[in-house]
Amino acid sequence: MTAVVFPLMRSVLFPLMLSVPLSSAGTGRAIHDRVDLIELNHFYDDLGRHQYDQVIFYEWSPDYCRFHVIAWCLVEDDQGRMPKREAGSREYVVRWFDRDSKIQREVRSKLYRETWSQVDPERANKKLIDEKYRVSLLRVTDCRLH
């Protein structure tokens, strides 16, 4: 029996253990993404009343020379979703627990902007590129968890 278990451990479990970085030991699973631009948008209605805050993630399209939305999320009461400048870095980061995937997410970008608008930038971008054609953030099945 031991002769069967050891080759299985060596061929399946050992490579799996090596694929998990040491920095994640004890911290749980997480997905790390990098985008070209993070936008914090404050949306107001036609009467100038604040409606919601959202974080929009973009990638640059060299073919069209513009940014395309790949994902967005409402900030709501989760202040953790607010983009923050990473201390000692030139990057902005957004971290949150993704309830759909049941995993911690982190998205980083070197570019950041904050806007106040009466036109939803994500919906306007949807007119240029339909949501079903968006690249999107990494999904749990798309990446190695770390």
- Rounded to whole angstroms, how far apart are CA atoms 41 and 53? 6
Mean pLDDT to the nearest integer, 118-145? 75
pLDDT, tens only, 45-85: 999 999 999 999 999 999 889 999 989 989 877 677 899 99
- Rounded to whole angstroms, how far apart are CA atoms 18 and 8? 15
Q: Indicate the domain borders of the chain.
A: 27-142
Angle at 108 between CA 89 and CA 29, to 5 degrees: 110
Q: What is the mean pLDDT of the chain?
A: 78
